[in-house]
Structure 1
Amino acid sequence: MANHRLERTQCDLTEFMLRHRRKLTPADVGLPTSGRRRTPGLRREEVAALAGVGLTWYTWFEQGRDIKVSERFLLNISRALKLDDAECCHLFLLAHRRAPPAEAYQEQSTSPRIQSLMDDLSRPSYVMNLRWDVIGW
Structure 2
Amino acid sequence: MENLVTLGGFLRASRSRLEPADVGFPTTTRRRVAGLRREELAQLAGVSVDYYTRFEQGRSKTASRAVLDALAAALHLDESNAPTCSVSPLNRSEYIAGTTRSR
What interval of TM-score do these two structures reach, taking the shorter chain for normalisation? Answer: 0.7 to 0.9
Percent of residue pairs bearing the same amino acid type: 41
| Match of residue 10, structure 1, among 4, 13, 18 | 4
Aligned partner of residue 85 in structure 1, secondary structure: coil
| Match of residue 92, structure 1, among 64, 85, 92 | 85
Calculate the aligned-residue CA RMSD, in Å.
2.1
Runs of 4+ in 1 over 2 A off after TM superposition: 90-93, 95-101
| Match of residue 67, structure 2, among 59, 65, 73 | 73
Residue in structure 2 matched with residue 21 of structure 1 by the alignment: 15
Aligned partner of residue 71 in structure 2, secondary structure: helix
Query: Offset at 1:32?
Result: 1.0
Residue in structure 1 matched with residue 39 of structure 2 by the alignment: 45
Aligned length: 94
> Which is bigger in relative contact order (C-alpha 8 A, separation at least 6)?
2
Residue in structure 2 matched with residue 56 of structure 1 by the alignment: 50
Q: TM-score, normalised by structure 2?
A: 0.80
Deviations 1:29-63 (A, max 9, x none): 11111221011100000000001111111110000
- Bigger Rg, which one: 1
Query: Offset at 1:84?
Result: 1.7
Higher helix share: 1
Give the distance between the partners of 1:66 and 1:16, measured in 2 at CA. 15
